A and B are shown apart, each in its own frame.
Chain A
Amino acid sequence: MASVFVANLFMGNVESNTSSSLTMTGDATATCWSCGTMRAVHFCSACGKVQPPVPVDYFTFFGLSRKLNLNTALLEREFYELSRKLHPDLCARADKREQEWSLEQSSLLNDAYRTLKDPIKRTEYLLRLEGVELEEQSKAATEKARAAGEIKKQVVPPDLLEEVFELNMQLEELRAQKKLGEDDPALVEEIGRQKLELEEKYESLSEELKKYWDEWDRLPGNATEEGRRKVRDKMVDLLNRRSYIRNLVRDVSEVLEG
């Protein structure tokens, strides 16, 4: 039952997922290497044998289109069903070739599930599929900072500039006090309050992100590159702000606890 469900779900989506550069239409009609029957995607729907992996993106792996709103309960169910077909434990007695495929397929399955179930990772992944080099930007900045022998400075989001400036001054003061073994409860309280505010802002960003998901998911199939870029940029900007706040909260915690 499960195999048919997954196979149908997948093939239904292959047709609608024409924007993907890596469609599997050709492979989906191939025959199973073992029993000769028409093949499901990752395993044969007739005999259950694991098939050689085909390089696909994570959305395609689960038979999903590149949409950001995703039913994670359903995703989990499919993850479990696919695990029951692909996991190496179930192929321990199979021939070496199938064991190898099972290892590759299930690592692909696990990587895909891990990425898609997490809202932030999912967004980042989609952006990367869309050609945005999130990590590369960050990595390049890190390497550049390291070469210059300094800690990487993130660009402060403009709307946070004033707050961050003040907070950094206060942190500096608290550090100095701690060094001298002094204690200013009022300052600690003030910093704690700002930390709480930042955490709230961090949370609210997740809500804001969902707005952009809706925008992205509503884009028509024939949306212009300009239209797609607009939504992408909003998401990139939000993710940058988010990671900035996260690092800031981490720094504040360190000073408060240290």
Chain B
Amino acid sequence: MATDRIVGIDLGTTNSLVAFMQGESPVVIPGEDGLNLVPSVVALDERDQIIVGNAARKYLIETPERAVYSIKRLMGRGLEDIQEELQLFPFRLAEDLHAGEVLRITLGKKTFTPPEISAFILRQLKRNAERFFNAPVNKAVITVPAYFNDAQRQATKDAGRIAGLEVLRLVNEPTAASLAYGLDKKQNGIVAVYDLGGGTFDISILKLHDGIFEVIATNGDTHLGGDDIDNLLIKIAIDDILGDANLDVSRNSEVVATIRKAVIETKIALSSESATEMDIELPQGKRYQREITREQFEQLIQPIIDRTVGPCKQALKDAGLKPAQIDEVVLVGGSTRIPKVRALVEELFQRKPHTDLNPDEVVALGAAVQANILGGGSEATENMLLLDVTPLSLGIEVAGGVTDKIILRNSTIPASATQYYTTQIDGQANVAIHVLQGERELAKDCRSLARFDLKGIPPMTAGMARIEVKFLIDANGILHVSAREQRSGKESEIEVQPSYGLTDDQVENMILDSFDFAEEDFRRRQVIEARNEADTILAALEKGKKSPAWGQLTSDEKKKIAKLEKALVQTKGEDDYSAIRTAIDLLNQGTMRLAELMMDTAVGTALKGKNMDEADMGEGTETGHPVARADFE
């Protein structure tokens, strides 16, 4: 049996890609439209079917309330984390959302969590790969920004599960890029990867040594990227329009979406042109026209791209290196196409960056390389091994609300730390532990990862218990906790409540729900539509029985109709679409003469002429499934 195909997936803020190792080199798998990039846009069409990628983009402008982009910005985050995002992005949160709850985004009349929306993108990539291989694909390596915290990583892993993928490894994006670079170059040395994407920025410094890719330091900003440039330009355009045309378009989501499209085109054009014109049609027959020069553009974006400087300097400091000691700087992410960004990198690292790689594809290609390594390797990847680090320190809240760091940032993963706890009162059975991630001194300034209780501690005098808690960050950068009471040797029960994550049960339910939007949903829809059609024809038959034409039928014909009627009534109660379809067709045929007689005598309603569209599809089709219910309101 051929080994399982493991694909590499770059689940990006703006675009996503799937790649695999073909022979000795990684290649991107194109979608049905022949394009390598699948825009990370998800829309719900009029029939409540999920649309992903290029096909979904038109919904952003036509029906923005049914589409979402840049969902990656919300992965693993809570309501209080995203106030800034809500001002800048047209995310429509579910109205009944409470603080501390997993976010839900409204598309049409339905709501989805960020991992579910990401899962739709992953499912599309999975389908693309399956079509390419003509075989099922169930395993993947997915990339994440290096600076993603535990909750963001967990959310990505959940998305994979919901999409029906076993996520064998989460790989940091810049590290993945370095794998693709290193596969190509086969050189030892120190490499810095500067990755400015659609929504995230990462800087990683690696030591390449005979196939070992050892990350020495990483830093970044999970909320910095091309999106921020777009939002800045959108805001300027909206202000201009208000000033020039006295038109407030800020609340008109269609116009804002049109402006967004135009500023992105402008941004891209200015990477090769010295000036370009924005020309946007506005309501009331007005227009917005403005020329932007590259110089103006560069001035505008300077404060945004300057935000990458701090993380770069910190990473160099953490690595204990001076810019001159870096042998090569590799550029990754679409935003590094901006000449001003390249100039900034050149100034920072005092050398011309390496720009041979396709900044949109290199991360996915690297993920494919890692997938190949996990699958047992090949000649090309022999000896290749990635040693990554945790981007953020892991800490525990101690007395006074202070963070006690137990695993420092830039520690090679897997990494572990053991802490000992004791009880403070006699017979105390529980000890509460608050796990944090971040660099700040105070617990409140760090990211809360999880709160959990050590339970079932055997009754002892205060201070006698000695509970050993082991914290382990695995190769995905995800935390695992285990505890043991040492005096009794009893394993303590741990309940980890992820601060903004999904519980296992929630993920399981989402896996089930997600099927509704794929094959299962289509099947369910067919059944419901067939049932409605059956109801219509049965109703028409009831009317026919009361018409004079009924009397003109032979008793054999009546018996046959009664038999077919009974068959349809019975099958429509079941979930078998083709059985209902067949029963409808048979009854249609069986009542052909009745219909003719009714037409001939011009009495009553023509049986066949009944328009199905008039049917009230809501009645009698209630399935009790909340998602299905929303469909037919």
Chain A residues near B (Cβ < 8 Å): 80, 83-84, 87-90, 92-93, 103-104, 106-108, 110-111, 113-114, 143, 146-147
Contact = CB atoms under 8 A, between A and B. Distances in A.
B430 interface: no
Contacts of A106: 414, 475
Interface in B568-596: none
Nearest to A105: B414
B412 interface: yes
B376 to A, nearest CB: 6
A80 B209 contact: yes
B310 to A, nearest CB: 15
A107 B375 contact: no
Given A103-B414, A110-B411, A89 B399 contact: no
Interface in B456-507: 472-475
A88 B414 contact: yes
Contact of B414 (A93, A110, A146, A147): A110
B63 interface: no
Contacts of B376: 93
A88 B475 contact: yes
Interface in B395-431: 399-400, 402, 411-417
A86 to B, nearest CB: 10
B97 interface: no
A83 B474 contact: no
B175 to A, nearest CB: 12
Nearest to A106: B414
A142 B376 CA distance: 49
Which 9 residue pairs spanning A and B have beta carbons closest together?
A107-B414, A92-B374, A110-B412, A107-B416, A146-B400, A88-B475, A106-B414, A80-B212, A110-B415
A110 B212 contact: no
A113 B386 CA distance: 16
A3 to B, nearest CB: 15
B168 to A, nearest CB: 6
Interface of B: 168-169, 209-210, 212, 370, 373-376, 383, 385-387, 399-400, 402, 411-417, 472-475
A87 B168 contact: no
Contacts of A107: 413-416, 472-473
Contact of B212 (A83, A93, A108): A83
Contacts of B473: 107
The DSSP consensus for interface residues of chain A is helix
A146 B398 CA distance: 11
A104 B472 CA distance: 9
11 contacts: A80-B210, A83-B387, A88-B475, A92-B169, A93-B376, A103-B472, A104-B416, A110-B415, A111-B416, A111-B417, A146-B399
Contacts of B385: 83-84, 87, 89-90
B414 A92 contact: no
Contacts of B414: 88, 103, 106-107, 110
Contact of A87 (B387, B399, B400, B415): B387
B319 to A, nearest CB: 14
Given A108-B416, A110-B413, A146-B400, A89 B474 contact: no
Contacts of B474: 88, 103
B475 A93 contact: no
B368 to A, nearest CB: 14
A92 B474 CA distance: 13
A108 B385 CA distance: 18
Contacts of B373: 89
A257 B472 CA distance: 37
A104 B474 CA distance: 9
Contacts of A103: 414, 472, 474-475
Contacts of A92: 168-169, 374-375
Contacts of A87: 385, 387, 475
Nearest to B474: A103
Contacts of B415: 107, 110-111, 114
Contacts of A93: 374-376
A114 B374 contact: no
Contacts of A143: 399
A138 to B, nearest CB: 11
Contacts of A90: 385
A84 B383 CA distance: 8
Contact of B411 (A80, A83, A104, A114): A114
B347 to A, nearest CB: 23
Contacts of A110: 411-415
